[in-house]
Structure 1
Amino acid sequence: MSKKVITAFLIAAGMTGGLILNSSQLNVKAASKGIVNTTKMTFLYNEQGKLVKDRALAPKTAWVYDQQIQIGDQGSFYRVATHEFVKTSDVSVQHGKTENGIVRTGSNGALMYGYDAGNYKATGTKLAAHSAWQYSKVDNANGKTWYQVNADGWINSDDASTSNFINNSGVAKISYAPASGINLWTGYGTHKVASGQKLTNGSEWNFSQKVIDANGDAWYMLGNNQWIEGTYTKITNQVFDTSAAQNWDPNFAVVKVNQKASVYNDSNYKSGVKESSAAGTLLQVASTEQTGNVIWYELSNGGWIPSTVVTEMTNYRSPVALNGKTKQQTIDAVVSAAKQQLGKPYIWNAKGPAGFDCSGLMQYVFRQATGQNIGSWTVPQETAGTKVSINQLQRGDLVFWGPSGASYHVALYLGNNQYLNALRPGTNVKIDRISSSFRPSFGVRVFK
């Protein structure tokens, strides 16, 4: 077997000078099995499983290995040099090839899998039926094609197939308060490139396709590979794929008509009937509003329907991941990100960073702290975790005002009866106390 030189060994902490080893000092057999990646300084061991004390592998580097062995009761190791090994638990194995596209789940949804030591293992999570997902890598194993749809998740060709986009078209109205407007992108998701053009607040644009990217964000295509982020839009659908209605969408909730019902022009019965909807019809919801004692849903076609004649659909969504941090570390990061926004103005429908409305603030701080999307307004944010009562609230929970499925305000609970929120126009982001005069209705525990 031919030789290959490893050149980036790092002198372990405590060695004089912290020098890099000369490449002639250590050789490794050519890789025949694969490549491993380090995320931190990674210790080396010899054939007996004893620690090599004078060097380690540098963080965020890739290393070829030519065999995997078991050393006594110390566990599994990869050989990265002739007489030197790393623990399999200390590194990750590169697999799959980089490829971008859209995969769509079948009628039974798709099981999610993680990749561990050469094997795909079911995580217990399932993606909704007929939902579309952006993938970034493809692998072939066990007679199946595997698609990586998020950092730690894969689905396979038994449950999904490559597809273009969710069957949606309609009008996107830019809803972003700053005068600069929003970017028009070439491409979407992680592959977006700024086009140099901006679309102004209040302007309306026809879209022909929609996609949910790997972060759970909605994107709308306005022209030939020209895209806008759904976070900053208000959508009126002309064509809506009802087969995907139960898939969690960061911009919408879905309601089902209980019996034939009228859809009104505005959020009151005197505004006039716009149209009627048959029993069983699924309707996308863009916002909610309370008029008197009645909660009204604003529909994505511009009409309004009272909550008394519909049932909210429970939409599937993946939980917010800790990404290697402890629960407490993640909550601390969310609270810290939230407190950094104190004093910024309330701006209706703003998503930051210059100003916020209540749900835009929550979406922004969770995105900053975790890199994940909990939804762009209150009702989708209700599905970000497990519902809890007000007397069960814990630091880091979301707090909601209004009925479940029709909430109208959201805040972040800080503990000690305090919450951080963007309340109304004319106020700034601030910390308030729970009181009998403005008592929240329920909480949602994002991190279990």
Structure 2
Amino acid sequence: MNIKSNFVKVTAAAALTLTGVATVSAVKPESTTAKVQAATTKVKINYVPGYGINIWDNYNGGHFTGQRAQHGTTWNVLDQKTDKKGRVWYQVGQNQWIMAQYTTPAGNTVTKNTTTQATATAAKPKKAKKSVQATGDVSAIVTLAEAQLGKNYVWGGTGANGFDCSGLTSYVYSKAAGVNIGRTTYDQVKQGTSVSMKNLQPGDLLFWGSASAPYHVGIYVGNNQYIHAATPGQGVIKQSLSGYFYPSAAKRILN
């Protein structure tokens, strides 16, 4: 075994681990035949205080790794790619990718790639547009909605310690996507684009009651489940869609 060679690879991999984040596991070393890649820039997570953004295993149709990059922490960027939807992603470790739109430049340049230059310089992250036509990563909506599970139902509550149904949806869209969808179910049902219940996607708003004047709203999160501020006795919970309490309408806010 080439002890010196392995030591160099492990040392280089250790240099690529994220800074300031103890809750997310460090980047694993490359295989013994892989080339050593060093970061070219640093970015800081700019999301919602107390929360983090999902880390994905790929920038195009990847899967959530179960790890999150916390707001305010600094990460080394190893590479930059643009997905099929035109969104910029940063590689921050082996099979670890985050969306550029939730970061700001950290201002510190580090050692350049020891084998090849990064494919492009870090792009300035895009801010969410303040309109219901804003585009964004629906994972941010789902992540923030899930973070509210277990909180109290409060009449007229808009967060962050308690919500009513429309207060929860308003809070999540405002904080996670920078989108103002209105305060009441009457306002929110007028936003976005109507979608079929057979074609739901995570982040869609679900409404119960009249399609023009609904009495309840929740957020669809995938796998036939939704999150809503249910009742004073239940608080914010996740439930599966069922025939006895089925939505009457659905709206897609993010394109």
The TM-score normalised by the length of structure 2 is 0.50
Whose radius of gyration is greater, 1 or 2? 1
Q: Which has the higher helix share?
A: 2
Q: Which has the higher strand share?
A: 1
The TM-score normalised by the length of structure 1 is 0.29
Kindly indicate whether structure 1 or structure 2 has the higher relative contact order, using CA contacts under 8 Å at least 6 residues apart: 2
